[in-house]
Amino acid sequence: MPKIVDYPEDAKYNIKSVSQRTGVQPVTLRAWERRYNILEPNRAENGYRLYSERDIALLVWLKNQVDAGISISSAVADYRSTTSKGISPEAVFNTPAPTISRRSNLPANEFVKLFYNALITRDEETASEIFEKAMASFDLFPLVELVIFPTLREIGDAWFNGKIYIAVEHFASGFIRSKLMTIYQALPVNRKVSYIMIGGAPGELHEIGSLVTALLLREAGYRVEYLGPDLPLDDLIQYIQEEKPKMVILSATILDATEDLDKFDEMISSIKPKPIFGFGGAAFNRNPELISKTPGYYLGETISQSIKTVKTILEGKKPNPLAG
Ligand code: B12
């Protein structure tokens, strides 16, 4: 049983020393503070934030939870619900984070088999365990391209060939979506960089491709807002007009969802400054003739390529999405 320490509450540490002691970047720290209202640093006379030992203990605890794969919002909710039951924050800080799964040497295709089997048998515990192991074993790009997408494609084939019920396919894609959303939400939002909106074209319900694009762009440091599937264009345009993103990305997996995208670039042309329009998804890969008919930037056949294309465009250079 760890010893419970009574943490002093007088605030005397500046953000730099707190960041060094906790390993939480100042930008993340401010984002957590703003979003969850969980720390209340004092202000020095010069306006700088000052933190106490108790704030530092809370930050270390939060960071341990996040490192163990729990989203920051869930960790904050756990903290709030435990302390609201009268349990002292000090006792919470002494609860260990769940053990982090160790890296596994399994190749990606073995992960796909295991993950697929766990999902189609609706074995959530095993599926979560495999997902965590895969996360610990691969960086984000190979995780999505070599484990998650192939698993989804296997599931799509199984449904297409009548091997699994549509309900099972819904369960599996819902499970994967929520895991990806947790990673996306745990990434810090940097507000001082290019602002990108991402979502699904009208009528498009497949959202994992656009969610992963959002996640990887956020991981690359951009300010990204993931807007979900099936966005009505008129409404989206009003939103863009108000929020003024630098770039808007729409994805289409089914052919029907590409129907109005050839007009989108024209529809946003009166917005000042005009945002850059990027698009991609399986519908364009399957029907490459649509690419030249859609004004805007085709981002590439894969999501990895699309991240490179976005970076090139935002650096003001000419992209080559077919570069591979
Ligand atoms: C999960 C799923 C669903 C879920 C989606 C849930 C969700 N929240 O996303 C639900 C149940 C809603 C669904 C519905 C339907 N689905 Co469905 N679905 C799938 C499944 C199993 C996985 C899709 C997925 O996420 N794949 C992972 C993605 C990321 O892989 P990918 O598209 O190959 O991605 C690569 C590129 O396309 C690109 N990319 C992908 N997205 C993006 C985005 C951007 C911005 C960029 C730049 C690049 C990019 O990068 C990837 C490689 O790096 C696929 C099977 C499959 N083979 O994909 C079927 C599949 C896509 N569905 C299919 C069909 C037919 C349907 C329905 C019409 C079924 C029906 N009769 O109701 C509806 C259509 C609904 C609609 N209006 O959109 C077909 C499409 C066939 C076709 N030629 O159009 C597939 C291929 C299944 C099959 N084998 O027939 N589906």
The secondary element (H helix, E strand) that includes residue 200 is: strand 195-200
CA angle 290, 207, 274 (to 5 degrees): 60
- Predicted pLDDT at 103: 57
| Tally of residues, the chain | 324
Q: Roughly how many angstroms between the first and final C-alpha of the chain, as a whole number? A: 54
**Cα–Cα distances in angstroms (integers) from residue 29 to residues 15, 93, 137, 211, in the given order:** 8, 17, 27, 24
Q: State the residue for tokens 């010069």.
A: 46
* Ligand 1 and 258: CB distance under 6 A: no
Select the CATH number that applies to the domain covering 191-314 from these four: 3.20.20.150, 3.40.630.10, 3.40.50.280, 3.20.20.70: 3.40.50.280
Contact 253 CB / ligand 1 (< 6 Å): yes
Q: How far is the CA of 13 from the centre of ligand 1 (A)?
A: 50
pLDDT of residue 75: 85
209 C-beta closer than 6 A to ligand 1: yes
Q: How far is the CA of 301 from the centre of ligand 1 (A)?
A: 14
Q: Contact, 267 vs 239, CB < 8 A? A: no
Express each pLDDT in 262-291 by its tens digit: 999 999 999 999 999 999 999 999 999 999
- CA 189 and chain centroid, separation: 10
Q: Is the CB of 205 under 6 A from ligand 1?
A: yes
Q: Please work out whether the CB of residue 22 comes within 6 Å of at least one atom of ligand 1.
A: no
Phi and psi torsions of 275, nearest 5°: -75, 160
Q: Whose CA is nearest to atom 16 of ligand 1?
A: 206
CATH code, residues 108-185: 1.10.1240.10
Give the start-to-end residue ranges of the domains of the chain. 15-93, 108-185, 191-314
**Listed residue (112, 276, 108) closest to 197, CA to CA:** 276
Q: Domain 15-93 adopts which CATH fold? A: Multidrug-efflux Transporter Regulator; Chain: A; Domain 2 (1.10.1660)
- Six token digits for residue 76: 């904050």
CA of 165 relative to ligand 1 center, distance in Å: 16
Q: What is the pLDDT of residues 204-215, one digit of tens each?
A: 999 999 999 999
Distance (angstroms) between ligand 1 centre and the Cα of 89 equals 45
Q: Which of ligand 1's atoms lies nearest the C-alpha of 309?
A: 47
Low-confidence ranges of the chain (pLDDT < 70): 1-5, 69, 96-104, 322-324
* pLDDT score at 104: 67
For position 98, what pLDDT does the model report? 63
- How many Å lie between the centroid of ligand 1 and the Cα of residue 310? 22
